[in-house]
């Protein structure tokens, strides 16, 4: 299925569910249920790679995944009895390793190997439904979720080993990603992306386990698959300095990967504060 059509379909489904849940707040019972808010830190590991938008590149290069990490703050908001809206503001690292494939003569393409690690500020939004279950003797809740992912590309770095790399005795050059610069002015340790897609969209599919080690506390363990929709750049390539290499990195590539997260959340007890305020008003009428 076309990624753009699939993204639009899931986004419409996501907001339809959210609107349906919001309408439930009109009833007193739903209003009480929707008052629960939990906040806390989240952190974990990433396992990411990129995929080409142009299938012809798959015949020239092979992509390998890399490990990364993420950390930030997490908020969970109950919208109905078994339905929660989860969102985080996180710093994360993603990347890939790209190698040139060998041709019929046994030689590699112009690229030997490129290692890239990108930095992002991300806002994943996931609509979760919970199911009760048991893990041994421990009562737990399981969840499934889906929702959009909004990322802002902060920058990145890496190194390149190329068959035509020159003026460097080792043949391996470290570089950093530079945005919105004239490619002809790229420095010896720069990869210039003239027209980057700084804001990138994707889809989240999650499965998780919720534990309650103490009253009003939750530990949520989540496995997430991210399906990237936006290219790193639709119009530009990654251009290196003239003294480094003539190779240009294709950037019509999308991020994909898995993320393992652990969040520790504390209930803000919004319901109790509202109940307490109501009780005080009744006991001490004006």
Identify the structural domains of the chain with CATH numbers, from first to last.
3-283 (2.40.160.20)
Are the CB atoms for 226 and 255 separated by under 8 Å? yes
Give dist(CA 105, CA 271) in Å, integer: 71
Neighbouring-strand partners of residue 135: 138
Per-residue DSSP letter, 135: E
- Angstrom CA distances, 16 to 53, 118, 210, stand at 30, 33, 25
pLDDT digits (tens, 9 = 90+) for 11-63: 555 555 555 444 544 444 444 455 689 999 999 999 999 999 988 888 889 99
DSSP codes of every residue in 101-129: PB-TTS-B-SEEEEEEEEEEEEEEEEEEE
For range 278-284, the mean pLDDT: 47
Q: What is the pTM of this model?
A: 0.80
Give dist(CA 232, CA 228) in Å, integer: 10
Residue 262: its H or E element: strand 253-267
pLDDT digits (tens, 9 = 90+) for 180-236: 999 988 888 999 999 999 999 999 999 999 988 888 899 999 999 999 999 999 999
pLDDT digits (tens, 9 = 90+) for 66-107: 999 999 999 999 888 889 999 999 999 999 999 988 765 554
């Amino acid at each position: 299925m076309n990624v753009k059509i699939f993204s639009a379909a899931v986004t419409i489904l996501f907001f339809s569910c959210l609107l349906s849940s919001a309408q439930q707040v009109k009833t007193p019972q739903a209003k009480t249920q929707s008052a629960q808010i939990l906040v806390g830190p989240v952190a974990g590991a990433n396992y990411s790679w990129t995929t080409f938008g142009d299938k012809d590149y798959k015949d020239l290069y092979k992509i390998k995944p890399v490990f990364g990490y993420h950390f930030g703050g997490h908020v969970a908001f109950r919208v109905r009895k078994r339905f929660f809206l989860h969102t985080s503001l996180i710093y994360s690292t993603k990347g890939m390793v790209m190698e040139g494939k060998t041709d019929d003569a046994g030689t590699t393409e112009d690229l030997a190997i490129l290692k890239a690690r990108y930095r992002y500020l991300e806002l994943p939004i996931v609509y979760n439904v919970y199911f009760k279950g048991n893990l041994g003797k421990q009562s737990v809740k399981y969840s499934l979720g889906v929702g959009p992912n909004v990322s802002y590309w902060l920058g990145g770095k890496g190194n390149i080993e190329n068959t035509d790399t020159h003026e460097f005795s080792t043949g391996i050059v470290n570089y950093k990603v530079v945005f919105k610069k004239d490619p002809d002015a790229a420095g010896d340790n720069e990869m210039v992306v003239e027209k980057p897609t700084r804001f990138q969209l994707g889809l989240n599919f999650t499965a998780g386990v919720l534990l309650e080690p103490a009253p009003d506390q939750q530990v949520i363990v989540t496995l997430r698959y991210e399906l990237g929709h936006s290219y790193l750049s639709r119009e530009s390539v990654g251009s290196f300095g003239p003294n480094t290499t003539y190779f240009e990195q294709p950037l019509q590539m999308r991020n994909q990967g898995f993320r393992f997260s652990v969040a520790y959340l504390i209930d803000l007890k919004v319901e109790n504060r509202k109940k307490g305020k109501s009780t005080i008003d009744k006991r001490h009428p004006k």
